[in-house]
Protein backbone atom coordinates (compact mmCIF):
# COMPACT_ATOMS: atom_id res chain seq x y z
CA UNK A 1 0.00 0.00 0.00
CA UNK A 2 1.17 3.50 -0.78
CA UNK A 3 2.65 5.25 2.25
CA UNK A 4 0.60 8.18 3.50
CA UNK A 5 2.19 11.60 3.94
CA UNK A 6 1.44 14.31 6.49
CA UNK A 7 2.90 17.75 5.85
CA UNK A 8 4.07 19.47 9.03
CA UNK A 9 4.06 23.20 8.40
CA UNK A 10 5.86 25.35 10.94
CA UNK A 11 4.36 28.80 11.46
CA UNK A 12 4.98 29.49 15.12
CA UNK A 13 8.29 31.39 14.88
CA UNK A 14 8.79 34.74 16.51
CA UNK A 15 10.25 36.58 13.46
CA UNK A 16 13.00 38.06 15.60
CA UNK A 17 14.83 39.54 12.58
CA UNK A 18 11.78 41.05 10.86
CA UNK A 19 11.76 44.38 12.72
CA UNK A 20 8.40 43.99 14.42
CA UNK A 21 6.65 42.38 11.42
CA UNK A 22 5.37 38.84 11.83
CA UNK A 23 6.68 37.26 8.64
CA UNK A 24 3.93 34.65 8.67
CA UNK A 25 1.42 37.45 8.16
CA UNK A 26 3.39 39.28 5.46
CA UNK A 27 1.79 39.48 2.03
CA UNK A 28 3.59 37.94 -0.92
CA UNK A 29 1.65 38.18 -4.16
CA UNK A 30 -1.47 38.96 -2.12
CA UNK A 31 -1.22 35.88 0.11
CA UNK A 32 0.49 35.10 3.39
CA UNK A 33 3.20 32.39 3.61
CA UNK A 34 0.95 29.99 5.53
CA UNK A 35 -1.78 30.13 2.88
CA UNK A 36 0.77 29.64 0.09
CA UNK A 37 2.41 26.63 1.79
CA UNK A 38 -0.91 24.98 2.70
CA UNK A 39 -1.98 25.30 -0.95
CA UNK A 40 1.22 23.79 -2.36
CA UNK A 41 1.48 20.95 0.17
CA UNK A 42 -2.20 20.01 -0.29
CA UNK A 43 -1.09 18.69 -3.69
CA UNK A 44 1.45 16.30 -2.15
CA UNK A 45 0.19 15.32 1.30
CA UNK A 46 -2.80 13.33 2.54
CA UNK A 47 -3.10 15.57 5.59
CA UNK A 48 -1.53 18.72 6.99
CA UNK A 49 -0.55 19.71 10.52
CA UNK A 50 0.22 23.39 11.10
CA UNK A 51 2.10 24.49 14.23
CA UNK A 52 1.02 28.02 15.10
CA UNK A 53 1.43 30.79 17.65
CA UNK A 54 -1.52 32.81 18.95
CA UNK A 55 -0.71 35.44 16.33
CA UNK A 56 -0.64 33.04 13.38
CA UNK A 57 -3.58 30.80 14.35
CA UNK A 58 -6.25 32.87 12.49
CA UNK A 59 -4.16 32.82 9.29
CA UNK A 60 -3.76 29.03 9.58
CA UNK A 61 -7.52 28.63 10.08
CA UNK A 62 -8.21 30.71 6.97
CA UNK A 63 -5.72 28.68 4.93
CA UNK A 64 -7.20 25.39 6.19
CA UNK A 65 -10.65 26.41 4.95
CA UNK A 66 -9.30 26.70 1.38
CA UNK A 67 -8.20 23.10 0.89
CA UNK A 68 -9.93 19.74 0.98
CA UNK A 69 -7.21 17.68 2.67
CA UNK A 70 -7.71 17.38 6.45
CA UNK A 71 -5.83 20.07 8.39
CA UNK A 72 -4.97 19.90 12.10
CA UNK A 73 -3.77 23.04 13.87
CA UNK A 74 -1.55 22.63 16.93
CA UNK A 75 0.11 25.12 19.25
CA UNK A 76 3.81 25.58 18.62
CA UNK A 77 6.52 25.61 21.25
CA UNK A 78 9.26 27.99 22.33
CA UNK A 79 11.82 26.41 19.99
CA UNK A 80 11.40 24.98 16.49
CA UNK A 81 12.00 21.49 17.81
CA UNK A 82 9.15 21.87 20.34
CA UNK A 83 6.78 22.83 17.53
CA UNK A 84 7.88 19.84 15.44
CA UNK A 85 7.36 17.51 18.42
CA UNK A 86 3.81 18.80 18.98
CA UNK A 87 3.01 18.39 15.29
CA UNK A 88 4.58 14.92 15.08
CA UNK A 89 2.35 13.73 17.90
CA UNK A 90 -0.73 15.07 16.11
CA UNK A 91 0.25 13.73 12.67
CA UNK A 92 -1.22 10.44 11.53
CA UNK A 93 0.72 9.17 8.52
CA UNK A 94 3.59 6.88 7.54
CA UNK A 95 5.79 9.76 6.40
CA UNK A 96 6.10 13.37 7.43
CA UNK A 97 7.32 16.32 5.37
CA UNK A 98 8.47 19.01 7.79
CA UNK A 99 8.52 22.47 6.22
CA UNK A 100 9.20 25.99 7.45
CA UNK A 101 6.41 28.22 6.16
CA UNK A 102 9.02 30.97 5.81
CA UNK A 103 10.16 29.02 2.71
CA UNK A 104 6.96 29.89 0.93
CA UNK A 105 8.49 29.86 -2.56
CA UNK A 106 9.07 26.11 -2.39
CA UNK A 107 8.20 24.39 -5.67
CA UNK A 108 6.25 21.22 -6.38
CA UNK A 109 9.41 19.62 -7.76
CA UNK A 110 11.45 20.22 -4.59
CA UNK A 111 8.65 18.79 -2.44
CA UNK A 112 8.16 15.78 -4.68
CA UNK A 113 11.86 14.88 -4.76
CA UNK A 114 12.11 14.96 -0.94
CA UNK A 115 8.93 12.92 -0.40
CA UNK A 116 9.87 10.35 -3.07
CA UNK A 117 13.24 9.86 -1.39
CA UNK A 118 11.57 9.34 2.00
CA UNK A 119 9.22 6.82 0.43
CA UNK A 120 12.10 4.82 -0.92
CA UNK A 121 14.87 5.33 1.64
CA UNK A 122 13.17 6.62 4.82
CA UNK A 123 14.56 10.13 4.50
CA UNK A 124 14.72 12.96 1.98
CA UNK A 125 15.96 16.44 2.81
CA UNK A 126 16.02 19.36 0.39
CA UNK A 127 19.48 20.91 0.23
CA UNK A 128 21.66 22.85 -2.19
CA UNK A 129 25.39 22.61 -2.68
CA UNK A 130 27.46 25.50 -1.39
CA UNK A 131 28.61 27.52 -4.40
CA UNK A 132 30.26 30.59 -2.95
CA UNK A 133 33.59 30.89 -1.26
CA UNK A 134 33.13 30.63 2.49
CA UNK A 135 35.71 32.44 4.61
CA UNK A 136 36.09 32.90 8.34
CA UNK A 137 36.33 36.63 8.76
CA UNK A 138 38.26 36.41 12.08
CA UNK A 139 41.08 34.16 10.89
CA UNK A 140 40.91 34.75 7.15
CA UNK A 141 40.71 31.02 6.63
CA UNK A 142 38.86 29.86 3.50
CA UNK A 143 36.62 26.95 4.41
CA UNK A 144 36.81 23.95 2.10
CA UNK A 145 33.48 23.86 0.24
CA UNK A 146 33.69 20.13 -0.33
CA UNK A 147 30.79 18.48 1.49
CA UNK A 148 29.16 21.77 2.48
CA UNK A 149 25.44 22.05 1.86
CA UNK A 150 22.77 24.63 2.61
CA UNK A 151 19.96 22.77 4.32
CA UNK A 152 16.44 23.66 3.28
CA UNK A 153 13.01 22.22 3.86
CA UNK A 154 10.93 20.15 3.30
CA UNK A 155 12.73 17.49 5.32
CA UNK A 156 10.88 14.22 4.95
CA UNK A 157 11.14 11.13 7.12
CA UNK A 158 9.49 7.98 8.31
CA UNK A 159 7.26 9.46 11.03
CA UNK A 160 7.73 6.79 13.71
CA UNK A 161 11.50 6.88 13.40
CA UNK A 162 11.69 10.67 13.47
CA UNK A 163 9.42 10.76 16.51
CA UNK A 164 11.72 8.30 18.28
CA UNK A 165 14.74 10.50 17.51
CA UNK A 166 12.91 13.58 18.81
CA UNK A 167 11.90 11.74 22.00
CA UNK A 168 15.51 10.91 22.74
CA UNK A 169 16.79 14.35 21.79
CA UNK A 170 18.78 16.15 24.43
CA UNK A 171 19.78 19.73 23.61
CA UNK A 172 19.03 22.28 20.90
CA UNK A 173 18.96 21.60 17.18
CA UNK A 174 18.15 23.75 14.16
CA UNK A 175 16.53 21.20 11.88
CA UNK A 176 15.10 17.71 11.60
CA UNK A 177 18.02 16.30 9.64
CA UNK A 178 20.21 17.01 12.68
CA UNK A 179 17.77 15.14 14.92
CA UNK A 180 17.64 12.23 12.48
CA UNK A 181 21.42 12.06 12.38
CA UNK A 182 21.66 11.47 16.16
CA UNK A 183 20.06 8.02 15.75
CA UNK A 184 20.23 6.98 12.12
CA UNK A 185 23.23 8.73 10.54
CA UNK A 186 23.11 11.23 7.69
CA UNK A 187 19.73 11.88 6.12
CA UNK A 188 19.53 11.44 2.37
CA UNK A 189 19.80 14.76 0.56
CA UNK A 190 17.60 15.68 -2.39
CA UNK A 191 17.96 18.59 -4.76
CA UNK A 192 16.59 21.81 -3.30
CA UNK A 193 16.42 25.07 -5.21
CA UNK A 194 18.00 28.49 -5.06
CA UNK A 195 14.49 29.93 -5.10
CA UNK A 196 13.56 28.01 -1.96
CA UNK A 197 14.85 30.78 0.31
CA UNK A 198 13.75 31.48 3.86
CA UNK A 199 11.98 34.75 4.52
CA UNK A 200 14.16 36.08 7.32
CA UNK A 201 14.61 39.84 7.24
CA UNK A 202 12.26 42.64 6.37
CA UNK A 203 14.37 43.51 3.31
CA UNK A 204 13.67 40.00 1.95
CA UNK A 205 10.04 40.88 1.32
CA UNK A 206 10.72 42.80 -1.87
CA UNK A 207 12.88 39.97 -3.22
CA UNK A 208 10.19 37.41 -2.38
CA UNK A 209 7.48 39.53 -3.96
CA UNK A 210 9.51 39.85 -7.17
CA UNK A 211 10.26 36.13 -7.31
CA UNK A 212 6.63 35.19 -6.61
CA UNK A 213 5.50 37.50 -9.42
CA UNK A 214 7.87 35.85 -11.89
CA UNK A 215 6.82 32.33 -11.15
CA UNK A 216 4.67 30.69 -13.73
CA UNK A 217 1.28 29.85 -12.39
CA UNK A 218 0.32 26.18 -12.49
CA UNK A 219 -2.38 26.78 -15.07
CA UNK A 220 -3.88 23.73 -16.73
CA UNK A 221 -6.53 23.17 -19.36
CA UNK A 222 -8.74 20.20 -20.13
CA UNK A 223 -11.16 19.16 -22.84
CA UNK A 224 -14.39 17.15 -22.62
CA UNK A 225 -16.98 15.84 -25.05
CA UNK A 226 -20.21 13.88 -24.63
CA UNK A 227 -23.06 12.70 -26.80
CA UNK A 228 -26.38 11.22 -25.72
CA UNK A 229 -29.15 9.78 -27.86
CA UNK A 230 -32.51 11.54 -28.02
CA UNK A 231 -35.48 9.34 -27.30
CA UNK A 232 -39.15 9.50 -26.39
CA UNK A 233 -40.28 9.16 -22.81
CA UNK A 234 -37.26 10.90 -21.23
CA UNK A 235 -36.83 14.39 -19.82
CA UNK A 236 -34.44 16.71 -21.61
CA UNK A 237 -31.96 18.09 -19.05
CA UNK A 238 -29.05 20.25 -20.17
CA UNK A 239 -26.81 22.30 -17.91
CA UNK A 240 -29.00 21.26 -14.97
CA UNK A 241 -32.09 22.85 -16.56
CA UNK A 242 -35.15 20.86 -17.57
CA UNK A 243 -36.18 21.94 -21.06
CA UNK A 244 -39.67 21.23 -22.41
CA UNK A 245 -39.27 19.09 -25.57
CA UNK A 246 -40.92 16.04 -27.12
CA UNK A 247 -37.68 14.03 -26.76
CA UNK A 248 -35.21 13.56 -23.94
CA UNK A 249 -31.64 12.26 -23.56
CA UNK A 250 -31.10 8.60 -22.83
CA UNK A 251 -28.63 7.58 -20.16
CA UNK A 252 -28.02 6.05 -16.72
CA UNK A 253 -28.01 9.40 -14.90
CA UNK A 254 -30.11 12.32 -16.09
CA UNK A 255 -27.95 12.12 -19.26
CA UNK A 256 -27.02 15.81 -19.10
CA UNK A 257 -24.45 15.76 -21.91
CA UNK A 258 -23.41 19.37 -21.28
CA UNK A 259 -22.49 18.80 -17.66
CA UNK A 260 -20.80 15.50 -18.52
CA UNK A 261 -18.58 17.29 -21.03
CA UNK A 262 -17.72 19.93 -18.42
CA UNK A 263 -16.90 17.25 -15.81
CA UNK A 264 -14.56 15.52 -18.28
CA UNK A 265 -12.88 18.84 -19.12
CA UNK A 266 -12.27 19.55 -15.41
CA UNK A 267 -11.02 16.04 -14.65
CA UNK A 268 -8.87 16.22 -17.76
CA UNK A 269 -7.29 19.49 -16.68
CA UNK A 270 -6.26 17.90 -13.37
CA UNK A 271 -5.26 14.63 -15.10
CA UNK A 272 -7.69 12.78 -12.85
CA UNK A 273 -9.16 10.40 -15.40
CA UNK A 274 -12.71 10.67 -16.70
CA UNK A 275 -16.34 10.72 -15.63
CA UNK A 276 -16.81 6.99 -16.20
CA UNK A 277 -13.98 6.19 -13.78
CA UNK A 278 -15.32 8.40 -11.00
CA UNK A 279 -19.06 7.88 -11.47
CA UNK A 280 -19.48 4.53 -13.27
CA UNK A 281 -22.83 3.96 -15.00
CA UNK A 282 -22.80 0.43 -13.57
CA UNK A 283 -23.23 1.91 -10.07
CA UNK A 284 -26.92 2.04 -9.06
CA UNK A 285 -26.10 5.04 -6.85
CA UNK A 286 -25.90 7.16 -10.01
CA UNK A 287 -29.17 5.97 -11.57
CA UNK A 288 -31.17 9.05 -12.59
CA UNK A 289 -28.92 11.23 -10.40
CA UNK A 290 -28.79 14.93 -11.23
CA UNK A 291 -25.51 15.56 -13.00
CA UNK A 292 -25.23 18.78 -10.99
CA UNK A 293 -24.45 16.58 -7.97
CA UNK A 294 -21.66 14.89 -9.96
CA UNK A 295 -20.37 18.31 -10.97
CA UNK A 296 -20.27 19.39 -7.31
CA UNK A 297 -18.27 16.28 -6.43
CA UNK A 298 -15.92 16.96 -9.31
CA UNK A 299 -15.37 20.48 -7.97
CA UNK A 300 -14.48 19.00 -4.56
CA UNK A 301 -12.01 16.65 -6.19
CA UNK A 302 -10.34 19.46 -8.12
CA UNK A 303 -10.23 21.56 -4.97
CA UNK A 304 -8.71 18.73 -2.92
CA UNK A 305 -5.78 18.68 -5.36
CA UNK A 306 -5.11 22.36 -4.69
CA UNK A 307 -6.69 23.72 -7.89
CA UNK A 308 -9.43 26.26 -8.40
CA UNK A 309 -11.60 26.62 -11.46
CA UNK A 310 -10.62 29.62 -13.55
CA UNK A 311 -13.20 29.30 -16.32
CA UNK A 312 -15.30 26.92 -18.38
CA UNK A 313 -16.44 27.36 -21.97
CA UNK A 314 -18.85 24.93 -23.61
CA UNK A 315 -20.85 24.52 -26.81
CA UNK A 316 -23.97 22.38 -27.25
CA UNK A 317 -24.68 21.08 -30.75
CA UNK A 318 -28.41 20.45 -31.18
CA UNK A 319 -30.77 20.93 -34.11
CA UNK A 320 -33.68 21.45 -31.73
CA UNK A 321 -35.06 22.68 -29.41
CA UNK A 322 -33.89 26.30 -29.27
CA UNK A 323 -31.62 26.54 -26.22
CA UNK A 324 -31.07 30.30 -26.07
CA UNK A 325 -33.86 30.99 -23.54
CA UNK A 326 -32.24 28.57 -21.06
CA UNK A 327 -28.59 29.55 -21.35
CA UNK A 328 -28.54 32.05 -18.47
CA UNK A 329 -30.14 29.57 -16.07
CA UNK A 330 -27.65 26.87 -17.13
CA UNK A 331 -24.72 29.21 -16.47
CA UNK A 332 -26.02 30.01 -13.02
CA UNK A 333 -26.65 26.38 -12.04
CA UNK A 334 -23.20 25.30 -13.25
CA UNK A 335 -21.50 28.23 -11.51
CA UNK A 336 -23.31 27.40 -8.25
CA UNK A 337 -22.31 23.73 -8.44
CA UNK A 338 -18.68 24.72 -9.02
CA UNK A 339 -18.75 27.44 -6.37
CA UNK A 340 -17.58 30.15 -8.77
CA UNK A 341 -19.05 33.36 -10.17
CA UNK A 342 -21.32 33.09 -13.20
CA UNK A 343 -18.89 35.29 -15.19
CA UNK A 344 -16.50 32.31 -15.26
CA UNK A 345 -18.98 30.07 -17.07
CA UNK A 346 -19.71 30.40 -20.77
CA UNK A 347 -22.36 28.26 -22.50
CA UNK A 348 -23.11 28.49 -26.22
CA UNK A 349 -25.47 26.60 -28.49
CA UNK A 350 -25.15 25.87 -32.18
CA UNK A 351 -27.40 24.20 -34.73
CA UNK A 352 -25.70 21.78 -37.14
CA UNK A 353 -27.69 22.77 -40.28
CA UNK A 354 -29.51 19.40 -40.31
CA UNK A 355 -26.18 17.63 -40.82
CA UNK A 356 -25.07 14.50 -38.99
CA UNK A 357 -26.87 12.70 -36.14
CA UNK A 358 -27.34 15.92 -34.17
CA UNK A 359 -28.77 17.54 -37.32
CA UNK A 360 -31.31 14.74 -37.60
CA UNK A 361 -32.21 15.14 -33.88
CA UNK A 362 -30.94 11.64 -33.12
CA UNK A 363 -28.78 12.98 -30.34
CA UNK A 364 -27.19 16.01 -28.68
CA UNK A 365 -23.44 16.60 -28.34
CA UNK A 366 -21.64 18.96 -25.96
CA UNK A 367 -18.00 20.01 -25.96
CA UNK A 368 -16.23 21.89 -23.18
CA UNK A 369 -12.86 23.26 -22.22
CA UNK A 370 -11.93 24.13 -18.66
CA UNK A 371 -9.01 26.00 -17.14
CA UNK A 372 -7.90 25.34 -13.56
CA UNK A 373 -5.20 27.11 -11.58
CA UNK A 374 -2.96 25.74 -8.85
CA UNK A 375 -3.57 27.65 -5.62
Residues that bind Mg ion (CB under 5 A): 226, 260
Q: Within its chain, how far is the Cα of 157 from the centroid? A: 21
Minimum distance from CB of 278 to Mg ion (Å)?
12
How deeply is 186 buried, as exposed, middle or buried, from its count of CB atoms within 10 A (0-12, 13-18, 19+)?
Answer: exposed
Rank residues 35 and 256 by Cβ distance to Mg ion and give the closer one. 256
CB 357 within 8 A of CB 230: no
Q: Bridge partners of 231?
A: 248
Rank residues 104 and 369 by Cβ distance to Mg ion and give the closer one. 369
For 235-261, letters b (16+ CB in 10 Å) and e give: ebbbbbbebebebbbebebbbbbbbbb
Minimum distance from CB of 370 to Mg ion (Å)?
16
CA 362 – CA 236 distance, rounded (Å): 13
Minimum distance from CB of 366 to Mg ion (Å)?
9
Q: Within its chain, how far is the Cα of 291 from the centroid? A: 24
Rank residues 16 and 282 by Cβ distance to Mg ion and give the closer one. 282
Minimum distance from CB of 310 to Mg ion (Å)?
24
Rank residues 156 and 257 by Cβ distance to Mg ion and give the closer one. 257
Taking residue 123's Cβ as centre, other Cβ atoms within 10 Å add up to: 26
Minimum distance from CB of 300 to Mg ion (Å)?
20
Rank residues 104 and 368 by Cβ distance to Mg ion and give the closer one. 368
Q: Please state, in angstroms and as integers, the Cα–Cα distance from residue 259 to each residue in 113, 228, 318, 328, following that order.
A: 37, 12, 15, 15
Minimum distance from CB of 260 to Mg ion (Å)?
4
Contacts of residue 330, defined as CB under 8 A and 6 or more positions apart, other chains included, come to: 238, 239, 240, 241, 258, 347
Rank residues 124 and 363 by Cβ distance to Mg ion and give the closer one. 363
Rank residues 81 and 365 by Cβ distance to Mg ion and give the closer one. 365
Rank residues 24 and 263 by Cβ distance to Mg ion and give the closer one. 263
Name the residue with the smallest CB distance to Mg ion.
260
Q: What are phi and psi of 219, to 5 degrees?
A: -105, 130
Half-sphere exposure of 277 (CA within 13 A, CB side): 9
Minimum distance from CB of 367 to Mg ion (Å)?
12
Q: Bridge partners of 73?
A: 50
Minimum distance from CB of 64 to Mg ion (Å)?
35
Rank residues 88 and 294 by Cβ distance to Mg ion and give the closer one. 294
CA 141 – CA 168 distance, rounded (Å): 36
Minimum distance from CB of 265 to Mg ion (Å)?
13
Taking residue 322's Cβ as centre, other Cβ atoms within 10 Å add up to: 11
CA 7 – CA 310 distance, rounded (Å): 26
Rank residues 80 and 260 by Cβ distance to Mg ion and give the closer one. 260
How deeply is 172 buried, as exposed, middle or buried, from its count of CB atoms within 10 A (0-12, 13-18, 19+)?
Answer: exposed
Contacts of residue 98, defined as CB under 8 A and 6 or more positions apart, other chains included, come to: 8, 10, 84, 87, 153, 154, 155, 156, 157, 176
How deeply is 343 buried, as exposed, middle or buried, from its count of CB atoms within 10 A (0-12, 13-18, 19+)?
Answer: exposed
Minimum distance from CB of 79 to Mg ion (Å)?
56
Amino acid sequence: MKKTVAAILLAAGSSSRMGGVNKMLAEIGGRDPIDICVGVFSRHADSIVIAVSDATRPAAERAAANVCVPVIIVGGGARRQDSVMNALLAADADLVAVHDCARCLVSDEVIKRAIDSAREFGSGVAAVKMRDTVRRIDTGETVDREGLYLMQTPQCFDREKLLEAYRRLDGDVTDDAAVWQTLYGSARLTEGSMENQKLTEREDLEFFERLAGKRTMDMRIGIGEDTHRLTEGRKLVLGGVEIPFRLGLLGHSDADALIHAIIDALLGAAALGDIGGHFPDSDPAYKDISSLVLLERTAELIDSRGYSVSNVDATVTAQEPKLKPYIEEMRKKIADALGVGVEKISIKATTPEHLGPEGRSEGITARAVACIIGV
